[in-house]
Amino acid sequence: MKLIRLSKFLEKVRNDLGVQLLTLYSLFVIPIVIGALYFDQVAGDRLRHEIMGSDLALARAIAQETNTIMENALLAVDQLAAYPAVEDIRTAEMLDIFENFQAGRPDVNLVYRLGADGLMIAHYPVGPLTTVGTDFSFREYFQRARQTDRAFVSLGRISPTTEQPVATAVMPIWRGDVFLGVVATNIKLQSLSNTLESITSEYQQDSKLRVVILDGGGKVIANPDPDFLLTDYLSLQPELAAAVLGGSSGSQVAQDEAGTEALFSFVPVPSAGWGVVISRPTAVAFATPNAFHRGVLLMSSVFLMIGVFFWAVLNNRVLSPLETLAAYSQQMGREVAGPREVDALDSLCERSDQLGHLVRSFRRMESAIHARIQELATLLETSQAVVSSLDSQVVLNRILEQVERLLGIEKSAIVALDDRRGVFVAKASRGLSSRYAEGLMISPDESTSVTMRALHTGEPIVIQDTQVDPSFEIYRPRAAAEGYRAFAAIPLQTQHANPAALVLYSPEPHVFTENYIGLLVNFANQAAMAIENAELYSHSDARLQEQTRRLEALIQSLDVGLVLEDLEGRVLYVNRSISEMVHIHGDQLIGSSVVKLYQRLLNASLAREEDLGKVKALLDENTEQEISLSLEIGAHHRIFRLKGFTVNDSAGMLLGRGQILQDITRDYELDRMKSSLIATVSHELRTPLAAIKGYATTLLADDVDWEEKAQEEFIQVISDEADRLSELVNNLLDMSRIEAGNLVLARRFCDLREVIERGVSRAYPNPGERIVYEFPEEIPIIEADPQRLEVVIRNLVENAAKYAQNDLPIRVRVVVQESQVVVRVEDEGPGIPEQNHNQVFQSFYRMENGLTRRTPGVGLGLAISRGFIAAHHGEIWLEPKSHGTIVAFSLPLSPAARIEGRDK
């Protein structure tokens, strides 16, 4: 989804100038604003860190100064404890030491010595108020002194002697392991506050800066405000006080006790365990970075406002006018602009800058486009009118009609070459007198003719005034007689049609402008195309019709059935073979359902129900498969192959489907014959070979001496079976020659009676006395191959002897007709059904009944007989008979025999 949105945005950026400029402006402004904000952030952070570092440095300076003071104080008490008078408590000497010490330390307001029991032994100054003898063992610092031998600073408190806030520098006094008390000095906390006040006044005159020093208990022991001394700061800022007293230093922003956000900087005082805290409101501390931040925001806002103003001006002065101009350019030439668009364009036209110049140019362009569109529309209408017919004369007349409509020319003509006469004549004219039009004949070699000059140069030639143009002088009388003063000849650029020119006549002098001539040339090109189309059509139509007739004759002559159907299963075309099979003319089948066509075909051919199912499956699946159909065509049984195919165009688009119905009966029979040949020949060869092998083996037996008579019988059987085997082989060879078409006859004049008798005598089984001859008194001599005819007679008689009962006669009758002789062999056997009359003459065909299965044979006798008779140019057939069979064949008589018969 994100990619789709990004793609749409990029496409809009590519197609919209405003979006492009806005994007470029954003790419310019946004980085600047982001850079300014980033600089503000970085610079502000740096300024804040510098301010925080400055405050932290101040806190460190104060802490260092305080640490130095406290180290001096601790060093001082350590030195005081080293005096023997102080250690041994020699009061007078000790007070002198205290006096001298205080004189050099104005920050100390009291120096004193406590005993081991915590009683005040002495202090200086003595003052009117004295605490000598007072027990101070309860003090925190006294309890702490008993635990250490080092100097330290106590927590802040109010001194009861001076009644001032002080912090005590304490030094425990030990003599070995014996605690002798402490010597201590009270440091005036006010002096530290004064020091802080002077430091802060030198650092910054801003009174909002507050510096406090905390003791180890978290109380304020130094602050310029006396009232704030000894305040429990730990309760006011517990986290900050705990951090600084824990030895940490740093800066942080937090709420002060008044609830104001403030910057706190804190540094510990390591020598005393104290801490220094500096604080001031963040509004004061960060005034400079805040002012810088406000300045950056102000500059960014001003920059953005300037950008918005610039964009508004750019949009108002450039982008909006460009959008108006773009919308105007898109509808230019297609629709009329509305009143608002016109007013906007008028206001833009008044501008004196480049945009105004551009709008004015667009206005001029629009006027030119409208004029050109009007001209093209007129030419288009002219072209449609001209090419609406392909009749040459109609096209020429319509061209002249459009000339009058388009150009307002009332007189015009089309001059073209007349092939028969070899001159240019007016093929069509409009507005001209018949005398002028019929008399307009121009020789191609006539150099003075304006029309010929235009045709030779290929450029239009214009005579604006025939009365003053010198090149038209010899034609002025004819122009005056016809009544025209201006003349124009425009050649028609034709390639396949004869050269031609469009000739225009004007009754008044006419100035042909360049645009007008260009319009004439365009119109002439349209007219030339129309003439070319008509001329090409006249030639291509005749050629197409001839090709269509040839293709139709070819398809109709095919010996296979052809059906073409559309994608909805309707018949588009059938050839003659299909029409004859369904007994319906092909035109009546067009548009009908292809399924119904095949139903009618199968019903007319007595097809099986399963064949109809196979056809429907083939049509439904629309595949290029093939199926076999068993049909009865007339009185013949035929096997057909139905193969589907698809019809596609050059791009592979499916246009329709079709089926081819092919008679494969012969192929089917050849397959059947091959199978029968293998089965029958293997059986028929086995019988004589078995007999020959058996009798030969018997004769060769060593343990038996056969009688001479028995040996002769065995040898005779072997000879007969060998003859039978030889006859079978000869039959196969004869059948092979017949089917191959290379059978050669040894013709000679012979006696038909003798041929018939020899054929009967060689029949096996021999009919003997059953044979009955019925010959005419005179049988003419025939020219034939006697051996082939003997085979025919023998085969016919053998079939009669095999299938008729032994006591029934077999008749051989000969009938002589005018041009042929007919021989009939008739028996009284079971006969052959009429539906099998044609099949019995096929190779290896034997009827399926009990008698044929008991009778030896391979089914070649009648087939060979038919081949031999056909080679003699005769015919063989079965004649109908109620009981028995009549096989007849005819032989043509030679011309000599026919003459001899007529003479007799």
In sequence order, what E strands does 271-336 have?
A: 274-281
Question: What number is the average pLDDT over the span 292-318?
Answer: 81
* H, E, C per residue of 566-592: CCCCEEEEECHHHHHHHCCCHHHHCCC
User: Residue 8's pLDDT is what?
Assistant: 63
- Name the one residue in this structure whose structure tokens are 């130094």: 222
Question: What number is the average pLDDT over the span 415-439?
Answer: 83
Closest C-alpha among 325, 206, 253, 268 to residue 49:
253
> Which of 241-255, 372-386, 533-547 shows the lowest per-residue confidence on average (mean pLDDT)?
372-386
- Note the residue count of the chain: 904
Percent of the chain whose pLDDT exceeds 90: 8
**Residue with more model confidence, 148 or 380:** 148
Which of the four pLDDT bands, split at 50, 70 and 90, describes residue 822? very high
Evaluate whether 565 touches 658 at the Cβ level (below 8 Å).
yes
Q: Measure the CA–CA gap between 397 and 430, rounded to whole angstroms.
A: 8
- Largest Cα span, the chain: 211
**Residue with more model confidence, 765 or 754:** 754
**Residue with more model confidence, 522 or 858:** 522
| pLDDT surpasses 90 at 106 | no
User: Residue 355's pLDDT is what?
Assistant: 72
Evaluate whether 381 touches 401 at the Cβ level (below 8 Å).
no
Question: What number is the average pLDDT over the span 280-309?
Answer: 81
Q: Rounded to whole angstroms, what are the CA distances from 771 to 798, 827, 881? A: 11, 10, 19
| pLDDT surpasses 60 at 347 | yes
> Which of 78-87, 195-204, 641-650 shows the lowest per-residue confidence on average (mean pLDDT)?
195-204
**Which of 598-612, 709-723, 787-801: highest mean pLDDT?**
787-801
SS3 865: helix
pLDDT in tens, 360-379: 777 777 777 766 666 666 66
| pLDDT surpasses 80 at 172 | yes
Tell me what the pLDDT averaged over the chain comes to. 78
In sequence order, what E strands does 239-341 have?
A: 250-255, 261-269, 274-281
User: Residue 854's pLDDT is what?
Assistant: 46
pLDDT in tens, 634-685: 666 778 787 887 888 777 788 788 888 777 777 776 666 666 656 556 655 6
**Which of 195-199, 408-412, 822-826: highest mean pLDDT?**
822-826
User: Residue 845's pLDDT is what?
Assistant: 63
User: Residue 390's pLDDT is what?
Assistant: 61
Evaluate whether 118 touches 142 at the Cβ level (below 8 Å).
yes
Evaluate whether 452 touches 442 at the Cβ level (below 8 Å).
yes
> Which of 90-94, 357-361, 772-776 shows the lowest per-residue confidence on average (mean pLDDT)?
357-361
User: Residue 104's pLDDT is what?
Assistant: 81
Tokens standing for residue 321: 């006018």
| pLDDT surpasses 50 at 76 | yes
User: Residue 456's pLDDT is what?
Assistant: 84
Residues paired with residue 561 on neighbouring β-strands, in sequence order: 661
Tokens standing for residue 665: 């009966």
User: Residue 604's pLDDT is what?
Assistant: 67
Question: What number is the average pLDDT over the span 577-589?
Answer: 77
Q: Is 853 exposed, middle or buried (0-12, 13-18, 19+ CB in 10 A)?
A: exposed
> Which of 47-61, 251-265, 327-341, 854-868 shows the lowest per-residue confidence on average (mean pLDDT)?
327-341
Q: Measure the CA–CA gap between 30 and 24, rounded to whole angstroms.
A: 10
User: Residue 899's pLDDT is what?
Assistant: 45
| pLDDT surpasses 60 at 259 | yes
Q: Measure the CA–CA gap between 93 and 409, rounded to whole angstroms.
A: 153
User: Residue 668's pLDDT is what?
Assistant: 72
User: Residue 852's pLDDT is what?
Assistant: 47
Which of the four pLDDT bands, split at 50, 70 and 90, describes residue 537? low
**Residue with more model confidence, 854 or 234:** 234
> Which of 429-433, 447-451, 524-528, 877-881 shows the lowest per-residue confidence on average (mean pLDDT)?
524-528
Please give the single-letter amino acid code of residue 597. L
**Percent helix, strand and coil across the chain, each to the nearest 5:** 55, 20, 25
SS3 222: strand
| pLDDT surpasses 50 at 850 | no
For residue 319, give every residue at least 6 positions away whose Cβ sits within 8 Å of its Cβ, in sequence order, or none.
17, 18, 21
Please give the distance of CA 762 from its chain centroid, rounded to a whole number. Answer: 84
Pairing of strands 157-158, 165-175: antiparallel
User: Residue 674's pLDDT is what?
Assistant: 64
**Residue with more model confidence, 548 or 148:** 148
What is the DSSP annotation of 483-494? T-SEEEEEEE--
Whether this prediction's pTM lies above 0.85 is answered by no
| pLDDT surpasses 50 at 799 | yes
Exposed e or buried b per residue across 284-306, where buried means at least 16 C-beta atoms within 10 angstroms of its C-beta: ebbeebeebbeebeeebeeeeee
Question: What number is the average pLDDT over the span 147-174?
Answer: 85
User: Residue 887's pLDDT is what?
Assistant: 93
The CA angle 53-56-58, to the nearest 5 degrees, is 110
User: Residue 853's pLDDT is what?
Assistant: 43
Question: What number is the average pLDDT over the span 821-840?
Answer: 81
Which of the four pLDDT bands, split at 50, 70 and 90, describes residue 748? very high
783 phi, psi to nearest 5 deg = -105, 105
* H, E, C per residue of 399-414: HHHHHHHHHCCCEEEE
